[in-house]
Amino acid sequence: MPLQLYNSLTRRKEASAPLDPDRVRMYACGPTVYDFAHIGNARANVAFDLLYRVLRHEYGAEHVRYVRNITDVEDKIIAAARANGEPIDALTARTTAIYREDMAALGNLPPDHEPRATEYIPQMIGMIERLIASGHAYEAEGHALFRVASYPKYGALARRSRADMIAGARVEVAPYKEDPGDFVLWKPSTPDQPGWESPWGRGRPGWHIECSAMSEETLGETFDIHGGGLDLIFPHHENEIAQSVCAHDGHPFARYWLHNGMLTVGGAKMAKSEGNFVTVRDALAQAPGEVIRLALLMTHYRDPLDWTEKRLREARQTLDRWYRALNEPANPGTPVDRQVRSDVRAALDDDLNSPLAIAHLHDLARSIYKTENRNERGHLQTALIFSAQQIGVLAQHPFDWLRSGGPERFVVQIDERIADRALARREKRFDDADRIRSELAEEGFILEDKPDGTTEWRFA
């Protein structure tokens, strides 16, 4: 089955058919670098890294070009630098380096190109000039603004009326606007703000024009896939489409639009004021990056995801179980078949269904524990390695993983699984309780339920 992706523009799954199979092009909106990346940023990054891996497997690594930008000029950056008392360049350099370290710790591949907004100011000015010349934009009081009424298809991605979009966007009411929905392409800078000379005076670009100019320069006028979080559909992606199509004489912009679902923490929207704001650094202090990655992939990328300690614990237990399966003895001369299992690949080809792919990996691990044939076990272990690496996990040597944290962690995670089973029994989730017992038995651990209600374990 060819790769199927859910296109936010058409609201349906579509077979992926790149314009040029020898040059598959994808753009994902990257971070605004003014602070530490949070776990929601990580979810988007992991989701599009998974797509990047699937595309590389489908078309060949040399035929896929993945661009993820860095927004290093924006009002939040200006405010953060002022609050910190540091130069803007120093702030953005520091936070960009932290972002790259954090994303690498989660097992994400680096993009093929990572343009910084401040490196593409001339391209942004050129695009704005084209929009003004064609009547799609206008100058007013040192600003350049996009004339929304000039693009009849405005709102097609968000599927909202212009009145709803204006109300939902909290647009700036300004006397220099022809229409309340018109959005800023360029705005003036005060002497203490970063700025560049332009035909409209010294100023800086609006957020939306940055991605349009950087994607045009790195991928061309029309490319295959554009990704980002669900919260970017409006206004950011809607505005990108309008200004890009108009700047390109009506040529299409991105052909497929993919958006990952939103993330909550403990059932509530993540916010510093709520005390539940989790940075990637916070999460990495709790668990290895591979655990965090698997925890994010346990939910389909388009679905809402609630970040909890229980989720992290389940992801760690899963990886422990898979790594122990790889540590089971096999014949050293077993031939190696470096292929992703067909069921895992089929799951990922179905709109990146990572939960189903993980279920198939569980089945593989179960088969490794059950077989007594060392040749068969070797084949299954190889399949588990290469299939799991398609989603970016099992990249370590089993011995290195299993010895991390020492024997104390090993005992603790067995006890945690027994506690999970006890909770399942109290809540009458007997299928879950039986599953945990069976998994532990497959891994060589026997549970003994005592008359007083406690459970002890021993090696088989």
Q: What is the pLDDT of residues 121-134, one digit of tens each?
A: 999 999 999 999 99
What does the pLDDT average to over 65-88?
Answer: 96
pLDDT of residue 409: 65
User: What is the mean predicted confidence (pLDDT) over 212-225?
Assistant: 98
Does the pLDDT of residue 407 top 60, yes or no?
A: no
Percent of the chain residues topping a pLDDT of 90: 77
pLDDT at residue 406 above 60?
no
Q: Please check the confidence at residue 209 and state whether its pLDDT lies above 70.
A: yes
Close Cβ partners of 79 (under 8 Å, ≥ 6 residues apart) = 34
Q: How confident is the model at residue 76 (pLDDT cuts 50, 70, 90)?
A: very high
Cα→Cα distances 87→34, 93, 131, 393, Å: 12, 10, 33, 38
DSSP state, residue 299: S
Region 352-375: what's the mean pLDDT? 95
pLDDT score of 460: 59
Per-chain mean pLDDT for the chain: 92
pLDDT at 228 over 70: yes
Mean pLDDT throughout 70-92? 96
Sort strands 64-68 and 24-28 into parallel, antiparallel or unpaired: parallel
Q: What pLDDT does residue 447 have?
A: 86
Question: What pLDDT does residue 168 have?
Answer: 52
pLDDT higher than 60, residue 169: no
Global pTM reads 0.89
Q: Name the 3-class secondary structure at 204.
A: strand
Whether the per-residue pLDDT at 52 is higher than 60: the answer is yes
Report the pLDDT averaged over residues 154-181: 78
What is each CA distance from 377 to 236, 365, 413, in whole angstroms?
A: 50, 10, 25
The pLDDT value given to residue 414: 78
Structure tokens at 366: 């179960």
Mean of the pLDDT values across residues 26-48? 97
Split at pLDDT 50, 70, 90, the class of 442 is confident
Task: Give the model's pLDDT for residue 119.
Answer: 98
Residue 254 has pLDDT above 70, yes or no: yes
Per DSSP, the three-state class of 220 is coil
Quote the crossing angle between the two packed helices 354-370 and 374-388, to the nearest 10°: 160
| Region 31-57 average pLDDT | 97
Distance CA 460, CA 446 (A): 6
Tell me the two tokens of residue 457.
């374990």
Q: Could you tell me the pLDDT band of residue 219, with boundaries at 50, 70 and 90?
A: very high
Higher pLDDT, 424 or 100: 100
pLDDT mean over 361-387: 94
Model pLDDT, residue 444: 72
User: What does DSSP say about strands 64-68 and 263-265: parallel, antiparallel, or unpaired?
Assistant: unpaired
**Among candidates 91, 282, 123, 135, which has minimal Cα distance to 215?**
123
With 60 as the cut, is the pLDDT of residue 426 above it?
A: yes
Higher-pLDDT residue of 412, 388: 388
Rounded to an integer, what distance in angstroms lies between the CA atom of residue 62 and that of residue 39?
Answer: 30
User: One-letter amino acid identity for 394?
Assistant: L
Region 108-113 average pLDDT: 98
Mean pLDDT of 185-194: 96
DSSP state of 457: E
